[in-house]
Amino acid sequence: MSTSAKDNDYKQLYESAINKVEQLQHELNQLKKMIFGVRQERFIPADKNQLALDIPTEQSAAVCNVLDAKKVTYVKVVKQDATQRRDSSHTIPSHLRREDVIIDPDHIPAGSKHIGTTETEVLEYKPAEIYVVRYIRNKYLLPSADETSSKIIVGTLPTLPVTKSMMGPGLLAQLVVEKICDHLPVHRQQQRLERDGIKLPYSTLSDGFAKTAALITPIYRALVTEVLNADYLQADETSVPVLDKDKKGSTHRGYYWLYQDSINKLLVFDYQPGRGREGPAEMLKDFYGTLQTDAYSAYNSIVDTNNITLIHCLAHARRYFSDAIYSDRERAEYVLEQLQLVYQIERDSRALNHDNEKRAASRQKQSLPILKKLGSWMEDQYKQVLPQSPIGKALAYSIKRWDKLCAFVYDGKLHPDNNAAERSIRATVIGRKNYLFAGSHESAKRIAMLYSLIGTCKLHNINPSLWLKDVLTVINDHPINRIKELLPHIWITKQK
């Protein structure tokens, strides 16, 4: 073997070893971050005044256009009531019932004159009360009839949510809200009731949960229709373990697919047994508009056949650089600083209450030049790094999708990222840590439906217990052609 051939082999071994060391170091840093690191994603640079990357020697030419870039200054407008909110953060709400306790001094000398009071308010609590509603229906014998005749009238029993059940709408609503909002499995709810001296079988509680879900299924279908009528959706998915009779001793990995209309604050969860394209293809078959995702490949073929405009999430791209900061701090910090400028423009726009038109104009004037220069810089830098290194993977991810990552600048209603959908999907992640798994595929579908309706309540600051109790009280007598009126965001308008 010639000397040059040996040198090439040694060079390849050396580069392979360096790449392996960087990969292992990256994995170690990621593990440390998961165990000890801060969970927030906001990037805080070591030098807040340094917005340019200083790479020595041969790499300096690749960044000279960025170093010469014009400095951009942004002004953040603080809302007037921000200070008031901070000062009143511990104020006791005025709508709570007040119970007055009058206290006089231990000794009041004769002739003392009352000049006022000093008030101290303390929040107090008493456990929620479970009580019995007893419907006593009076019976009357009609005139000119004897006791043996059939001419007897009796008061009409109100329609109950679940016939032949001892659980009323308030208790059924509480069972659902405790499981979906507070993530309490049914057996913990059973234990909580037993502490109050109420012993209900597990089967009774789970049956009440299932029948409640069946009752509000038409409302869920109306919500799906409402969401798919939007022209801009965000999508995400997460796994859920499901007991499967065909897999004894193990669980099946199912998936909750989320579709969120962040403009109108509506969301829908759809359970599917797998993560393939079949689920979103069926759900989105009648959707026309813009779909924002995390670049999961299952959406690609769907958008092509359905004529959907696909855009991607800038926060996902940013995370790759955040993860790469330990292996190539200079390049990663530079990208994070540039993206931080873009997000500052978004915050300023929100503070100024820009409408969609003004927001799009602001983005094209300020954000677009930053993103264009950043995209060109990424392509130059990618030629100088190892493709399999953390920074190489981060650059490759963004370069491949750069047009879809920057698409939000042209439309003011679009968000730069999928963070709103990720916040909504977080409830399912917390839930599965508590109840561990869904009992069946049908159970997973019920839970997905309830996550949809309760999640929409949360987005509109609606107390889900009040909404669900009212809905269960009227659902059996409500006309099916007016079922849309019971959707949380429409229901709340009728309560005011």
pLDDT (0 to 100) of residue 78: 46
75 within a domain of the structure (yes/no): no
- Beta-carbon contacts of 55 under 8 Å, excluding residues fewer than 6 positions away, are 62, 63, 330, 331
87 within a domain of the structure (yes/no): no
Write down the mean pLDDT value for the chain.
85
398 within a domain of the structure (yes/no): no
pLDDT > 70 fraction of the chain, expressed in percent and rounded: 82
pLDDT (0 to 100) of residue 123: 85
Q: Which domain holds residue 473?
A: 125-313+417-495
Worst-scoring range by mean pLDDT, 23-37, 75-89, 227-241, 379-393? 75-89
Q: How confident is the model at residue 45 (pLDDT cuts 50, 70, 90)?
A: low
Average pLDDT score over residue span 358-375 = 96
pLDDT (0 to 100) of residue 30: 65
What's the pTM value of the predicted model, to 2 decimals?
A: 0.79
Residue 3 clears pLDDT 70, i.e. is over it: no
CATH code for the domain in which residue 472 is found: 3.30.420.10
Average pLDDT score over residue span 161-184 = 91
142 within a domain of the structure (yes/no): yes
Reported as a single tens digit per residue, the pLDDT across 83-113 is 444 444 568 888 888 989 999 888 888 889 8
Residue 71 clears pLDDT 50, i.e. is over it: no
pLDDT (0 to 100) of residue 6: 63
pLDDT (0 to 100) of residue 2: 63
pLDDT > 90 fraction of the chain, expressed in percent and rounded: 54
Average pLDDT score over residue span 195-200 = 89
406 within a domain of the structure (yes/no): no
Worst-scoring range by mean pLDDT, 14-28, 135-149, 225-239? 14-28
Measured CA to CA in angstroms, residue 409 lies from 163, 288, 296 at distances of 54, 20, 22
- Beta-carbon contacts of 249 under 8 Å, excluding residues fewer than 6 positions away, are none
- Beta-carbon contacts of 139 under 8 Å, excluding residues fewer than 6 positions away, are 152, 153, 154, 155
Around Cβ 228, how many Cβ atoms within 10 Å? 19
Average pLDDT score over residue span 138-150 = 73
pLDDT (0 to 100) of residue 386: 87
485 within a domain of the structure (yes/no): yes
Tokens of 378: 């990424």
Q: How confident is the model at residue 24 (pLDDT cuts 50, 70, 90)?
A: confident
Residue with tokens 């926060």, as numbered in its chain: 315
**DSSP sequence for 153-168:** EEPPPPPPSSTT-S--
pLDDT (0 to 100) of residue 151: 80
Task: Please classify residue 145 by burial: count the beta carbons closer than 10 Å to its beta carbon, then call 0-12 exposed, 13-18 middle and 19+ buried.
Answer: exposed
Beta bridge partners of 271: 256
Residue 206 clears pLDDT 60, i.e. is over it: yes
Length of the chain: 496
pLDDT (0 to 100) of residue 495: 82
| Whether the Cβ atoms of residue 349 and residue 362 lie closer than 8 Å to each other | yes
Reported as a single tens digit per residue, the pLDDT across 431-488 is 888 888 888 899 999 999 999 999 999 999 999 999 999 999 999 999 999 999 999 9
pLDDT (0 to 100) of residue 59: 40
pLDDT (0 to 100) of residue 221: 97
**DSSP sequence for 420-469:** HHHHHHHHHHHHHHHH-SBSSHHHHHHHHHHHHHHHHHHHTT--HHHHHH
Worst-scoring range by mean pLDDT, 56-60, 161-165, 235-239? 56-60
DSSP H or E run through 310: strand 309-312
Reported as a single tens digit per residue, the pLDDT across 390-421 is 999 999 999 999 999 999 999 999 999 999 99
Residue 362 clears pLDDT 70, i.e. is over it: yes
Average pLDDT score over residue span 121-147 = 82
102 within a domain of the structure (yes/no): no
Q: What are phi and psi of 272, to 5 degrees?
A: -135, 145
Number of structural domains in the chain: 1
**Between these two residues, 313 and 67, which has the higher pLDDT value?**
313
